[in-house]
Amino acid sequence: MTRQVFISSVQKEFAAERRALRDFIAGDALLRRFFHVFLFEDLPAKDRRADRAYLTEIATSDIVLFLFGSEYGPPPGAAGLSPTEREFDRASDTDRPRLVFLKSDVDPRDARMQRLIARAEATLIRRRFASQPELTAGVYAALVDWLAEKKLIRVEPFDKAACIGATLTDIDATSLAAFVGHARESRGLAGAVGSKPQAVLTHLNLMAGKGPGHAAILLFGKEPQRFLPTSEVKCAHFHGTTATKPIPSYQVYKGTVFECIDQSVDFVLSKISKSVGTRAKSAAAPVDYEIPPEVIREAIVNAVAHRDYTSDGSVQVMLFADRLEIWNPGGLPPSLTLAMLRKPHGSFPRNPLLAEPLYLAKYIERMGTGTGDMIARCKKAGLSAPRFTVTDGFKVTIPRPPGAQRMASGAGVILAVTPQGPRKDPAGTPQVVAVLSAATNPQSRAQLQAAAGLVDREHFRLDYLEVLLSSGLLERTIPDKPTSSRQRYRLTAAGKAFLLKQAKRGQR
Protein backbone atom coordinates (compact mmCIF):
# COMPACT_ATOMS: atom_id res chain seq x y z
CA MET A 1 0.00 0.00 0.00
CA THR A 2 1.40 3.39 -0.98
CA ARG A 3 0.95 6.61 0.99
CA GLN A 4 -0.45 9.77 -0.54
CA VAL A 5 1.64 12.92 -0.74
CA PHE A 6 -0.47 16.05 -1.28
CA ILE A 7 1.52 18.88 -2.92
CA SER A 8 0.05 22.28 -2.15
CA SER A 9 1.16 25.60 -3.64
CA VAL A 10 0.01 28.63 -5.55
CA GLN A 11 -0.62 26.55 -8.61
CA LYS A 12 0.45 28.99 -11.30
CA GLU A 13 3.72 29.85 -9.58
CA PHE A 14 4.90 26.27 -9.03
CA ALA A 15 3.13 24.35 -11.79
CA ALA A 16 6.40 23.05 -13.29
CA GLU A 17 7.91 22.17 -9.89
CA ARG A 18 4.81 20.24 -8.84
CA ARG A 19 4.83 18.12 -11.99
CA ALA A 20 8.57 17.53 -11.68
CA LEU A 21 8.16 16.29 -8.11
CA ARG A 22 5.28 14.02 -9.11
CA ASP A 23 7.35 12.51 -11.93
CA PHE A 24 10.43 12.14 -9.73
CA ILE A 25 8.58 10.28 -6.97
CA ALA A 26 6.86 8.06 -9.53
CA GLY A 27 10.20 7.26 -11.18
CA ASP A 28 12.41 6.76 -8.12
CA ALA A 29 12.96 3.08 -7.31
CA LEU A 30 12.59 3.63 -3.55
CA LEU A 31 9.97 6.36 -3.25
CA ARG A 32 7.51 4.85 -5.71
CA ARG A 33 7.28 1.76 -3.51
CA PHE A 34 5.89 3.88 -0.67
CA PHE A 35 4.29 7.02 -2.14
CA HIS A 36 1.97 8.36 -4.80
CA VAL A 37 1.36 12.05 -5.42
CA PHE A 38 -1.93 13.96 -5.51
CA LEU A 39 -2.06 17.02 -7.78
CA PHE A 40 -5.16 19.01 -8.55
CA GLU A 41 -4.42 18.50 -12.25
CA ASP A 42 -4.94 14.76 -11.78
CA LEU A 43 -8.34 15.13 -10.09
CA PRO A 44 -11.09 13.83 -12.40
CA ALA A 45 -14.09 16.04 -13.17
CA LYS A 46 -16.78 15.77 -10.49
CA ASP A 47 -19.93 17.63 -9.53
CA ARG A 48 -18.43 19.35 -6.49
CA ARG A 49 -16.35 22.41 -5.69
CA ALA A 50 -12.64 22.00 -6.33
CA ASP A 51 -11.54 23.66 -3.08
CA ARG A 52 -13.72 21.28 -1.04
CA ALA A 53 -12.32 18.31 -2.94
CA TYR A 54 -8.80 19.47 -2.13
CA LEU A 55 -9.58 19.81 1.57
CA THR A 56 -11.03 16.28 1.57
CA GLU A 57 -7.82 14.96 0.00
CA ILE A 58 -5.76 16.80 2.65
CA ALA A 59 -7.58 14.94 5.43
CA THR A 60 -6.90 11.56 3.83
CA SER A 61 -3.28 12.23 2.81
CA ASP A 62 -0.33 10.83 4.73
CA ILE A 63 1.95 13.81 4.07
CA VAL A 64 1.17 17.35 2.92
CA LEU A 65 3.98 19.15 1.13
CA PHE A 66 3.80 22.95 0.84
CA LEU A 67 5.71 25.10 -1.66
CA PHE A 68 5.84 28.76 -0.60
CA GLY A 69 7.09 31.43 -2.98
CA SER A 70 6.25 35.05 -3.74
CA GLU A 71 2.53 34.83 -4.52
CA TYR A 72 -0.25 34.32 -2.01
CA GLY A 73 -3.00 33.39 -4.41
CA PRO A 74 -6.57 34.64 -4.84
CA PRO A 75 -8.40 34.82 -1.49
CA PRO A 76 -11.82 33.25 -2.08
CA GLY A 77 -14.85 33.89 0.13
CA ALA A 78 -15.40 36.17 3.04
CA ALA A 79 -12.59 34.71 5.10
CA GLY A 80 -10.07 36.18 2.69
CA LEU A 81 -7.77 33.14 2.87
CA SER A 82 -6.10 31.68 -0.20
CA PRO A 83 -6.56 27.97 -1.03
CA THR A 84 -2.96 27.36 0.04
CA GLU A 85 -3.50 28.82 3.52
CA ARG A 86 -6.83 26.97 3.91
CA GLU A 87 -5.01 23.73 3.00
CA PHE A 88 -2.31 24.56 5.56
CA ASP A 89 -4.97 25.06 8.22
CA ARG A 90 -6.74 21.82 7.29
CA ALA A 91 -3.48 19.86 7.47
CA SER A 92 -2.78 21.41 10.89
CA ASP A 93 -6.26 20.69 12.21
CA THR A 94 -6.14 17.03 11.10
CA ASP A 95 -2.57 16.49 12.37
CA ARG A 96 -1.21 15.68 8.92
CA PRO A 97 2.62 15.68 8.70
CA ARG A 98 3.55 18.97 6.96
CA LEU A 99 6.72 19.58 4.95
CA VAL A 100 7.35 23.21 4.04
CA PHE A 101 9.76 24.26 1.27
CA LEU A 102 10.41 27.97 0.85
CA LYS A 103 11.64 29.46 -2.42
CA SER A 104 14.66 31.63 -1.63
CA ASP A 105 15.75 34.89 -3.29
CA VAL A 106 12.16 35.96 -3.90
CA ASP A 107 11.69 39.72 -4.04
CA PRO A 108 9.19 41.11 -3.54
CA ARG A 109 7.16 38.58 -1.56
CA ASP A 110 3.46 39.17 -0.98
CA ALA A 111 2.85 40.43 2.55
CA ARG A 112 0.13 37.83 3.10
CA MET A 113 2.56 35.09 2.05
CA GLN A 114 5.12 36.47 4.49
CA ARG A 115 2.56 36.16 7.30
CA LEU A 116 1.79 32.55 6.26
CA ILE A 117 5.50 31.74 6.25
CA ALA A 118 5.81 33.24 9.73
CA ARG A 119 2.95 31.05 10.93
CA ALA A 120 4.62 27.97 9.49
CA GLU A 121 8.02 28.85 10.96
CA ALA A 122 6.50 29.14 14.41
CA THR A 123 5.59 25.45 14.48
CA LEU A 124 7.59 23.73 11.71
CA ILE A 125 11.07 23.42 10.31
CA ARG A 126 11.11 24.63 6.73
CA ARG A 127 13.73 24.12 4.04
CA ARG A 128 14.82 26.64 1.44
CA PHE A 129 15.45 25.88 -2.24
CA ALA A 130 16.74 27.97 -5.11
CA SER A 131 16.35 25.51 -8.00
CA GLN A 132 14.47 22.41 -9.05
CA PRO A 133 17.42 20.06 -8.23
CA GLU A 134 17.64 21.54 -4.72
CA LEU A 135 13.90 21.09 -4.24
CA THR A 136 14.00 17.51 -5.48
CA ALA A 137 16.95 16.64 -3.22
CA GLY A 138 15.24 18.23 -0.22
CA VAL A 139 11.96 16.43 -0.80
CA TYR A 140 13.76 13.12 -1.30
CA ALA A 141 15.65 13.53 2.01
CA ALA A 142 12.47 14.55 3.86
CA LEU A 143 10.47 11.57 2.57
CA VAL A 144 13.27 9.12 3.37
CA ASP A 145 13.50 10.57 6.89
CA TRP A 146 9.74 10.06 7.29
CA LEU A 147 10.03 6.44 6.15
CA ALA A 148 12.87 5.83 8.57
CA GLU A 149 10.96 7.46 11.42
CA LYS A 150 8.02 5.16 10.71
CA LYS A 151 10.48 2.22 10.57
CA LEU A 152 9.38 1.41 7.04
CA ILE A 153 12.96 1.38 5.81
CA ARG A 154 16.41 0.88 7.34
CA VAL A 155 18.80 3.78 6.82
CA GLU A 156 21.83 2.72 8.85
CA PRO A 157 24.64 0.90 6.99
CA PHE A 158 23.92 -2.75 6.32
CA ASP A 159 26.91 -4.01 8.28
CA LYS A 160 25.80 -2.01 11.34
CA ALA A 161 22.18 -3.13 11.30
CA ALA A 162 20.96 -5.93 13.56
CA CYS A 163 20.98 -9.40 12.04
CA ILE A 164 17.37 -10.46 12.47
CA GLY A 165 17.03 -13.71 14.38
CA ALA A 166 20.70 -13.91 15.38
CA THR A 167 21.87 -13.99 19.00
CA LEU A 168 25.27 -14.21 20.66
CA THR A 169 24.95 -18.01 20.64
CA ASP A 170 25.39 -17.80 16.85
CA ILE A 171 28.90 -16.36 17.29
CA ASP A 172 31.86 -18.76 17.19
CA ALA A 173 33.65 -17.79 20.42
CA THR A 174 36.78 -19.80 19.54
CA SER A 175 37.25 -18.06 16.19
CA LEU A 176 36.58 -14.69 17.79
CA ALA A 177 39.22 -15.28 20.47
CA ALA A 178 41.73 -16.42 17.85
CA PHE A 179 41.04 -13.25 15.86
CA VAL A 180 41.71 -11.04 18.89
CA GLY A 181 45.07 -12.72 19.48
CA HIS A 182 46.04 -12.36 15.85
CA ALA A 183 44.88 -8.72 15.68
CA ARG A 184 46.95 -7.84 18.73
CA GLU A 185 50.03 -9.44 17.21
CA SER A 186 49.65 -8.18 13.65
CA ARG A 187 48.09 -4.73 14.08
CA GLY A 188 48.52 -3.97 17.76
CA LEU A 189 44.82 -4.08 18.63
CA ALA A 190 44.58 -1.73 21.59
CA GLY A 191 42.26 -1.45 24.54
CA ALA A 192 40.75 -3.80 27.06
CA VAL A 193 39.01 -6.09 24.62
CA GLY A 194 37.79 -8.59 27.17
CA SER A 195 37.25 -12.30 26.64
CA LYS A 196 33.50 -12.75 26.33
CA PRO A 197 32.00 -12.49 22.81
CA GLN A 198 29.71 -9.61 23.77
CA ALA A 199 32.63 -7.59 25.14
CA VAL A 200 34.76 -8.25 22.05
CA LEU A 201 31.96 -7.40 19.63
CA THR A 202 31.14 -4.25 21.58
CA HIS A 203 34.78 -3.18 21.41
CA LEU A 204 34.72 -3.72 17.65
CA ASN A 205 31.37 -1.84 17.28
CA LEU A 206 29.74 -5.01 15.95
CA MET A 207 26.83 -5.16 18.39
CA ALA A 208 23.42 -3.87 17.25
CA GLY A 209 21.47 -3.34 20.43
CA LYS A 210 21.49 -6.58 22.41
CA GLY A 211 22.38 -8.81 19.46
CA PRO A 212 25.10 -9.11 16.82
CA GLY A 213 24.99 -6.96 13.71
CA HIS A 214 25.31 -8.23 10.17
CA ALA A 215 29.07 -7.64 10.18
CA ALA A 216 29.50 -9.72 13.34
CA ILE A 217 27.70 -12.69 11.77
CA LEU A 218 29.65 -12.37 8.52
CA LEU A 219 32.97 -12.23 10.37
CA PHE A 220 32.49 -14.62 13.27
CA GLY A 221 29.19 -16.44 12.80
CA LYS A 222 28.98 -20.20 13.15
CA GLU A 223 26.73 -20.39 10.08
CA PRO A 224 26.61 -16.98 8.36
CA GLN A 225 24.66 -18.28 5.36
CA ARG A 226 21.77 -19.30 7.61
CA PHE A 227 21.05 -15.59 8.04
CA LEU A 228 22.67 -14.19 4.88
CA PRO A 229 22.35 -16.88 2.19
CA THR A 230 24.03 -14.90 -0.60
CA SER A 231 27.20 -14.21 1.42
CA GLU A 232 28.72 -17.34 -0.13
CA VAL A 233 31.32 -17.23 -2.92
CA LYS A 234 30.85 -19.19 -6.14
CA CYS A 235 34.01 -20.37 -7.91
CA ALA A 236 34.12 -21.92 -11.37
CA HIS A 237 36.90 -23.04 -13.71
CA PHE A 238 36.34 -23.15 -17.48
CA HIS A 239 38.85 -24.63 -19.91
CA GLY A 240 37.81 -22.25 -22.68
CA THR A 241 37.23 -18.50 -22.85
CA THR A 242 33.45 -18.54 -22.35
CA ALA A 243 31.18 -19.68 -19.53
CA THR A 244 29.77 -22.88 -21.02
CA LYS A 245 28.38 -26.04 -19.48
CA PRO A 246 29.33 -28.53 -18.28
CA ILE A 247 31.58 -26.65 -15.87
CA PRO A 248 34.76 -28.69 -15.30
CA SER A 249 35.18 -27.48 -11.72
CA TYR A 250 32.61 -25.66 -9.59
CA GLN A 251 32.61 -24.93 -5.87
CA VAL A 252 30.36 -22.87 -3.62
CA TYR A 253 32.20 -21.77 -0.51
CA LYS A 254 30.34 -20.92 2.68
CA GLY A 255 31.41 -19.79 6.10
CA THR A 256 32.75 -16.52 7.46
CA VAL A 257 34.21 -13.89 5.17
CA PHE A 258 37.67 -15.07 6.24
CA GLU A 259 36.89 -18.65 5.24
CA CYS A 260 35.24 -17.64 1.97
CA ILE A 261 38.24 -15.53 1.01
CA ASP A 262 40.82 -18.19 1.88
CA GLN A 263 38.91 -20.98 0.16
CA SER A 264 38.38 -18.92 -3.00
CA VAL A 265 42.05 -17.95 -3.19
CA ASP A 266 43.06 -21.59 -2.73
CA PHE A 267 40.64 -22.59 -5.50
CA VAL A 268 42.32 -20.27 -8.02
CA LEU A 269 45.86 -21.15 -6.92
CA SER A 270 45.09 -24.84 -7.34
CA LYS A 271 43.99 -24.28 -10.96
CA ILE A 272 46.70 -22.02 -12.36
CA SER A 273 50.26 -22.89 -13.35
CA LYS A 274 53.16 -22.48 -10.97
CA SER A 275 56.89 -23.03 -11.07
CA VAL A 276 59.06 -24.07 -8.15
CA GLY A 277 62.67 -22.98 -8.18
CA THR A 278 65.72 -24.30 -6.39
CA ARG A 279 66.88 -23.71 -2.85
CA ALA A 280 70.13 -22.14 -3.98
CA LYS A 281 69.48 -18.91 -2.08
CA SER A 282 67.42 -20.06 0.90
CA ALA A 283 66.05 -23.12 2.67
CA ALA A 284 62.59 -22.45 1.20
CA ALA A 285 62.20 -23.01 -2.51
CA PRO A 286 60.64 -20.02 -4.34
CA VAL A 287 57.26 -20.59 -5.92
CA ASP A 288 56.06 -18.44 -8.80
CA TYR A 289 52.44 -18.55 -9.93
CA GLU A 290 51.40 -17.35 -13.38
CA ILE A 291 49.29 -14.69 -11.60
CA PRO A 292 50.82 -13.24 -8.41
CA PRO A 293 48.89 -14.64 -5.43
CA GLU A 294 48.79 -11.14 -3.91
CA VAL A 295 46.81 -9.91 -6.93
CA ILE A 296 44.33 -12.79 -6.71
CA ARG A 297 43.89 -12.29 -2.99
CA GLU A 298 43.45 -8.51 -3.27
CA ALA A 299 40.76 -8.87 -5.93
CA ILE A 300 38.82 -11.50 -3.98
CA VAL A 301 39.15 -9.64 -0.67
CA ASN A 302 37.84 -6.44 -2.28
CA ALA A 303 34.90 -8.31 -3.81
CA VAL A 304 33.90 -9.83 -0.47
CA ALA A 305 34.56 -6.71 1.65
CA HIS A 306 32.95 -4.10 -0.60
CA ARG A 307 30.02 -5.97 -2.13
CA ASP A 308 26.38 -5.00 -1.66
CA TYR A 309 25.09 -7.52 0.87
CA THR A 310 21.49 -6.45 0.32
CA SER A 311 21.69 -7.87 -3.20
CA ASP A 312 20.41 -11.32 -4.12
CA GLY A 313 23.67 -11.97 -5.98
CA SER A 314 26.84 -13.64 -4.68
CA VAL A 315 30.50 -12.99 -5.37
CA GLN A 316 31.64 -14.98 -8.40
CA VAL A 317 35.20 -16.09 -9.15
CA MET A 318 35.57 -17.43 -12.70
CA LEU A 319 38.82 -18.74 -14.14
CA PHE A 320 38.98 -18.94 -17.94
CA ALA A 321 41.78 -20.07 -20.23
CA ASP A 322 42.82 -16.47 -20.86
CA ARG A 323 41.71 -14.54 -17.77
CA LEU A 324 40.48 -14.52 -14.19
CA GLU A 325 37.25 -12.63 -13.46
CA ILE A 326 36.04 -11.63 -9.99
CA TRP A 327 32.55 -10.11 -9.88
CA ASN A 328 30.57 -8.76 -6.97
CA PRO A 329 27.08 -7.25 -6.69
CA GLY A 330 27.57 -3.56 -6.08
CA GLY A 331 29.40 -0.64 -7.62
CA LEU A 332 31.81 2.14 -6.84
CA PRO A 333 30.93 4.69 -4.16
CA PRO A 334 29.96 8.10 -5.57
CA SER A 335 33.32 9.56 -4.53
CA LEU A 336 35.27 7.10 -6.72
CA THR A 337 35.56 6.65 -10.49
CA LEU A 338 37.12 3.87 -12.54
CA ALA A 339 39.91 6.24 -13.55
CA MET A 340 40.73 6.95 -9.89
CA LEU A 341 41.31 3.24 -9.23
CA ARG A 342 44.46 3.42 -11.36
CA LYS A 343 46.13 6.04 -9.18
CA PRO A 344 46.43 6.74 -5.44
CA HIS A 345 43.04 7.43 -3.91
CA GLY A 346 41.27 7.48 -0.59
CA SER A 347 39.66 4.45 0.98
CA PHE A 348 35.84 4.45 0.86
CA PRO A 349 34.64 1.06 2.16
CA ARG A 350 31.02 0.18 1.44
CA ASN A 351 30.89 -1.84 4.67
CA PRO A 352 33.18 0.00 7.13
CA LEU A 353 32.41 -2.18 10.17
CA LEU A 354 33.17 -5.27 8.09
CA ALA A 355 36.36 -3.74 6.69
CA GLU A 356 37.88 -2.85 10.06
CA PRO A 357 38.34 -6.46 11.32
CA LEU A 358 39.62 -7.43 7.86
CA TYR A 359 42.23 -4.71 8.29
CA LEU A 360 43.10 -5.91 11.80
CA ALA A 361 43.58 -9.43 10.41
CA LYS A 362 45.84 -8.01 7.63
CA TYR A 363 43.44 -8.93 4.84
CA ILE A 364 43.16 -5.33 3.63
CA GLU A 365 44.84 -1.95 4.07
CA ARG A 366 43.23 1.37 4.87
CA MET A 367 45.02 3.54 2.36
CA GLY A 368 43.17 2.76 -0.88
CA THR A 369 46.37 1.31 -2.37
CA GLY A 370 45.00 -2.13 -3.24
CA THR A 371 44.14 -1.56 -6.90
CA GLY A 372 47.41 0.29 -7.48
CA ASP A 373 49.35 -2.62 -5.96
CA MET A 374 47.48 -5.05 -8.21
CA ILE A 375 48.47 -3.07 -11.31
CA ALA A 376 52.11 -2.82 -10.20
CA ARG A 377 52.41 -6.52 -9.35
CA CYS A 378 50.86 -7.58 -12.66
CA LYS A 379 53.27 -5.31 -14.53
CA LYS A 380 56.23 -6.76 -12.62
CA ALA A 381 55.05 -10.28 -13.51
CA GLY A 382 54.86 -9.37 -17.19
CA LEU A 383 51.06 -9.36 -17.30
CA SER A 384 48.68 -6.80 -18.69
CA ALA A 385 47.09 -4.52 -16.11
CA PRO A 386 43.82 -5.66 -14.52
CA ARG A 387 40.65 -4.17 -16.00
CA PHE A 388 37.94 -2.68 -13.80
CA THR A 389 34.39 -2.41 -15.12
CA VAL A 390 30.99 -1.52 -13.68
CA THR A 391 27.85 -2.86 -15.38
CA ASP A 392 25.35 -4.82 -13.31
CA GLY A 393 28.02 -5.07 -10.63
CA PHE A 394 31.75 -4.47 -10.17
CA LYS A 395 34.15 -6.75 -12.06
CA VAL A 396 37.91 -7.16 -12.02
CA THR A 397 39.45 -8.96 -15.00
CA ILE A 398 43.03 -10.21 -14.62
CA PRO A 399 44.61 -11.49 -17.86
CA ARG A 400 46.49 -14.78 -17.75
CA PRO A 401 49.86 -14.99 -19.52
CA PRO A 402 49.71 -16.17 -23.14
CA GLY A 403 50.75 -19.79 -23.61
CA ALA A 404 50.52 -20.69 -19.92
CA GLN A 405 50.53 -24.48 -19.45
CA ARG A 406 47.27 -25.85 -18.07
CA MET A 407 46.06 -29.36 -17.29
CA ALA A 408 42.86 -30.57 -18.93
CA SER A 409 41.64 -31.85 -15.58
CA GLY A 410 41.79 -28.37 -14.11
CA ALA A 411 44.48 -29.09 -11.50
CA GLY A 412 47.40 -26.69 -11.12
CA VAL A 413 50.51 -27.46 -13.17
CA ILE A 414 53.90 -27.71 -11.49
CA LEU A 415 56.33 -26.61 -14.17
CA ALA A 416 59.51 -27.32 -12.21
CA VAL A 417 60.33 -28.77 -8.81
CA THR A 418 63.28 -28.83 -6.50
CA PRO A 419 65.28 -32.03 -6.26
CA GLN A 420 64.62 -32.11 -2.52
CA GLY A 421 60.84 -31.79 -2.73
CA PRO A 422 58.12 -34.15 -3.95
CA ARG A 423 57.09 -34.20 -7.59
CA LYS A 424 53.70 -34.45 -9.24
CA ASP A 425 54.21 -38.20 -8.81
CA PRO A 426 55.87 -37.79 -5.39
CA ALA A 427 59.16 -39.47 -4.77
CA GLY A 428 59.58 -41.49 -1.60
CA THR A 429 61.70 -38.94 0.22
CA PRO A 430 61.98 -39.31 3.99
CA GLN A 431 59.78 -36.22 4.43
CA VAL A 432 57.02 -37.60 2.18
CA VAL A 433 57.09 -40.97 3.91
CA ALA A 434 57.00 -39.27 7.32
CA VAL A 435 53.98 -37.13 6.35
CA LEU A 436 52.02 -40.07 4.92
CA SER A 437 52.87 -42.32 7.87
CA ALA A 438 51.68 -39.67 10.32
CA ALA A 439 48.41 -39.30 8.37
CA THR A 440 47.38 -42.89 9.09
CA ASN A 441 45.22 -41.17 11.69
CA PRO A 442 43.75 -37.73 10.81
CA GLN A 443 46.28 -35.00 11.58
CA SER A 444 46.36 -31.21 11.45
CA ARG A 445 48.64 -29.30 9.11
CA ALA A 446 50.94 -28.42 12.02
CA GLN A 447 51.20 -32.07 13.09
CA LEU A 448 52.10 -33.22 9.59
CA GLN A 449 54.65 -30.43 9.21
CA ALA A 450 56.24 -31.44 12.51
CA ALA A 451 56.37 -35.07 11.36
CA ALA A 452 58.26 -33.96 8.24
CA GLY A 453 60.72 -31.99 10.35
CA LEU A 454 60.15 -28.82 8.33
CA VAL A 455 60.15 -25.31 9.79
CA ASP A 456 58.82 -23.11 6.98
CA ARG A 457 55.02 -23.32 6.88
CA GLU A 458 54.61 -21.98 3.33
CA HIS A 459 57.31 -24.31 2.01
CA PHE A 460 55.58 -27.28 3.60
CA ARG A 461 52.15 -26.24 2.30
CA LEU A 462 53.26 -25.60 -1.29
CA ASP A 463 55.93 -28.28 -1.77
CA TYR A 464 54.41 -31.12 0.23
CA LEU A 465 50.84 -30.75 1.45
CA GLU A 466 49.30 -29.40 -1.78
CA VAL A 467 51.19 -31.87 -3.95
CA LEU A 468 50.18 -34.85 -1.82
CA LEU A 469 46.57 -33.67 -1.90
CA SER A 470 46.53 -33.11 -5.67
CA SER A 471 48.15 -36.50 -6.28
CA GLY A 472 45.43 -38.22 -4.22
CA LEU A 473 47.69 -39.61 -1.51
CA LEU A 474 46.12 -37.38 1.15
CA GLU A 475 42.59 -36.06 1.55
CA ARG A 476 40.87 -33.44 3.69
CA THR A 477 38.41 -34.50 6.38
CA ILE A 478 36.33 -31.37 5.60
CA PRO A 479 36.69 -31.08 1.82
CA ASP A 480 34.13 -28.30 1.36
CA LYS A 481 35.99 -26.01 3.79
CA PRO A 482 39.71 -26.29 2.92
CA THR A 483 40.80 -23.57 5.38
CA SER A 484 38.62 -24.57 8.34
CA SER A 485 40.34 -24.36 11.70
CA ARG A 486 39.05 -27.90 12.31
CA GLN A 487 40.55 -29.23 9.08
CA ARG A 488 42.47 -32.51 9.29
CA TYR A 489 44.29 -34.63 6.69
CA ARG A 490 44.22 -38.41 6.35
CA LEU A 491 45.77 -41.11 4.24
CA THR A 492 43.83 -42.36 1.22
CA ALA A 493 43.81 -45.85 -0.23
CA ALA A 494 46.31 -44.63 -2.81
CA GLY A 495 48.46 -43.26 0.01
CA LYS A 496 48.44 -46.61 1.78
CA ALA A 497 49.49 -48.35 -1.43
CA PHE A 498 52.26 -45.77 -1.86
CA LEU A 499 53.59 -46.44 1.65
CA LEU A 500 53.41 -50.20 1.09
CA LYS A 501 55.38 -49.82 -2.12
CA GLN A 502 58.03 -47.74 -0.33
CA ALA A 503 58.27 -50.31 2.44
CA LYS A 504 58.84 -53.13 -0.05
CA ARG A 505 61.55 -51.10 -1.76
CA GLY A 506 63.27 -50.64 1.60
CA GLN A 507 63.32 -54.41 2.20
CA ARG A 508 65.20 -55.14 -0.99
- Domain at 373, CATH number: 3.30.565.60
pLDDT at 426 over 80: no
CATH number at residue 471: 1.10.10.10
For residue 286, what pLDDT is reported? 65
Per the domain annotation, does 116 fall within a domain? yes
What gap in Å lies between CA 135 and CA 258, rounded to an integer? Answer: 45
Lowest mean pLDDT among 204-208, 333-337, 476-480, 492-496: 333-337
**H or E segment and range at residue 64:** strand 63-68
pLDDT value of residue 148: 84
- Average pLDDT over every residue of 13-40: 89
Q: Mean per-residue pLDDT for 208-219?
A: 95
Closest CA to 313 of 214, 434, 232, 226: 232
* Mean pLDDT of all residues in 343-348: 74
- Which carries the bigger pLDDT value, residue 358 or residue 431? 358
The mean-pLDDT minimum among 50-54, 149-153, 363-367, 475-479 falls in 50-54
Domain boundary among 208, 227, 246: 227
Mean pLDDT taken over the chain: 84
Q: Which residue has the higher pLDDT, 64 or 188?
A: 64
Average of pLDDT values for 95-122?
90
Residues 353, 250 share a domain: yes
Whether pLDDT at 467 is above 50: yes
Q: Look at residue 83 and give its three-state secondary structure.
A: helix
Its pTM stands at 0.57
pLDDT digits (tens, 9 = 90+) for 143-172: 988 998 887 886 677 888 899 999 999 999
Same domain, 176 and 205: yes
Percentage above 90 pLDDT, the chain: 45
Give yes or no: residues 223 and 237 share one domain: no
DSSP state of 168: G
Range of the domain at 489: 430-507
| In a domain? residue 422 | no
Task: Specify the range with the lowest mean pLDDT, choosing from 14-23, 94-103, 422-431, 486-495.
Answer: 422-431
* DSSP annotation string for 255-300: SSHHHHHHHHHHHHHHHS-EEE--SSSSSSPPEEESS-HHHHHHHH
Closest C-alpha among 317, 309, 225 to residue 264: 317
199 pLDDT exceeds 60?
A: yes
pLDDT band at 415 (very low <50, low <70, confident <90, very high): very low
Share of the chain above pLDDT 70, in %: 86
Q: What is the mean pLDDT of residues 195-214?
A: 91
Query: Has residue 408 got a pLDDT over 60?
Result: no
Residue 299 banded pLDDT, cuts 50, 70, 90: very high
Q: Which pLDDT band holds residue 492 (cuts at 50, 70, 90)?
A: very high
Looking at residue 27, its amino acid is G
Q: Is the pLDDT of residue 417 over 50?
A: no
Q: 98 - beta bridge partners?
A: 64
DSSP H helical ranges for 197-246:
197-203, 214-220, 224-227
pLDDT of amino acid 226: 96
CATH number at residue 100: 3.40.50.10140
**What total number of domains does the chain contain?**
4
Evaluate whether residue 412 is within a structural domain: no
Q: What is the pLDDT of residues 48-90, one digit of tens each?
A: 565 677 788 888 899 999 999 999 987 655 467 888 899 999 9
Q: Are 245 and 287 part of one and the same domain?
A: yes
**Stronger pLDDT, 221 or 182, i.e. the higher one:** 221
Section 466-481 average pLDDT: 88
Reduced to 3 states (helix: H, G, I; strand: E, B; else coil), residue 428 is coil
Based on the domain organization, do 62 and 144 belong to the same domain? yes
Residue where a domain stops, chosen among 399, 417, 449:
399
Same domain, 72 and 212: no
- Label residue 255 by pLDDT band (50, 70, 90): very high
In this structure, what are the phi and psi dihedrals at residue 260, rounded to the nearest 5 degrees? -60, -40
Judged against a pLDDT cut of 50, whether residue 100 lies above it is answered with yes
Tell me the residue length of the chain: 508
Give the pLDDT band of residue 406 (cuts 50, 70, 90): very low
State the Cα–Cα distance between residues 452 and 172, nearest whole angstrom: 32
> Which of 149, 182, 198 is where one domain is finished?
149
Alpha-carbon distance of 14 to 70, in angstroms, equals 10
| Domain identity same for 244 and 387 | yes
Of 8-12, 231-235, 237-241, 442-446, the poorest mean pLDDT is in: 8-12
Residues 255 and 394 in one domain: yes
Using pLDDT thresholds of 50, 70 and 90, give the confidence band for residue 416. very low
pLDDT score, position 419: 37
Residue 474 parent element (H or E):
strand 474-476
Kindly tell me if the per-residue pLDDT of 123 is higher than 60.
yes
Same-domain status, 8 and 90: yes
> Which pLDDT belongs to residue 367?
60
Residues 6+ positions from 429 with CB-CB distance below 8 Å: 420, 421, 422
User: Which residues fall within 8 angstroms of residue 122, CB to CB, at 6 or more apart?
Assistant: none
> Are 210 and 247 within one domain?
no
237 and 373 fall within a common domain: yes
**Would you give the DSSP letter of residue 309?**
T
Q: What is the pLDDT of residue 326?
A: 97
Question: In terms of domains, do 181 and 131 share one?
Answer: no
Q: Give the pLDDT of residue 198.
A: 93
